[in-house]
Amino acid sequence: MYPRHMDYASDLIQHYESLWGRMCRRLFMTAGPIQDLPDGYQVGEFFDDKKQLWIYATINAADNRSGLEFHLIAPIADEQHVQTLSVLAYYGLTTAPLGVGHTLNLGEGWLADSVCDHLLLSLPYLYGKNLEHFNHHEINIQCLWVLPITRSERAFKAKHGLEALESKFEEQGIEFADPNRVSVV
């Protein structure tokens, strides 16, 4: 397990709350291989009043392989986001180390009828470096944005690179939290 002090979870929650406001509730996985996730693993649900968006963020996902926590921005409150983030955390801990630019195939839309069926790990551009870097007792944790993307966007990234895909997102001004948004490629 990643070496951390007992106050890691509460300090991480404070880090999140400094950007998003007070946490609405703590959510826990109730099925699946929860024993393979780090002790105390949970997902915090937040509502950003300024942007009118729901944010789901892992708490205690970081371990010695990854040093990563993840967050997903959504248009609606839905406990399905807990499963999405937990699958990602599980994959990163048990299958392959993850980092910026990695993608994961969900096999289905991230929300009902969504064409976005892949996840892209990105820097948290919407909230910046204040969110990205969390230092806790000399342990550096990186908080990455989990951005739902389409299969064609994932193929474009594989062929042209992450920067090219992010440029397309910026050029077209995507509504990243819209599960029914049109692909940029």
Dump pLDDT digits (tens) for 29-46. 877 788 888 888 999 999
Q: Is position 3 within any domain? A: no
Q: Is position 177 within any domain? A: no
**Of residues 136 and 85, more confidently modeled:** 85
Tokens of 16: 């999140």
Q: Is position 56 within any domain? A: yes
Q: Is position 85 within any domain? A: yes
Q: Is position 63 within any domain? A: yes
Q: Is position 44 within any domain? A: yes
Q: Is position 27 within any domain? A: yes
User: What local confidence, expressed as pLDDT, does residue 1 receive?
Assistant: 44
Task: For residue 118, give its domain range.
Answer: 8-172
Q: Is the pLDDT of residue 131 over 90?
A: yes
Residues 34-61, mean pLDDT to the nearest whole number: 92
Q: How many domains is the chain built from?
A: 1
Per-chain mean pLDDT for the chain: 91
Q: Is position 135 within any domain? A: yes
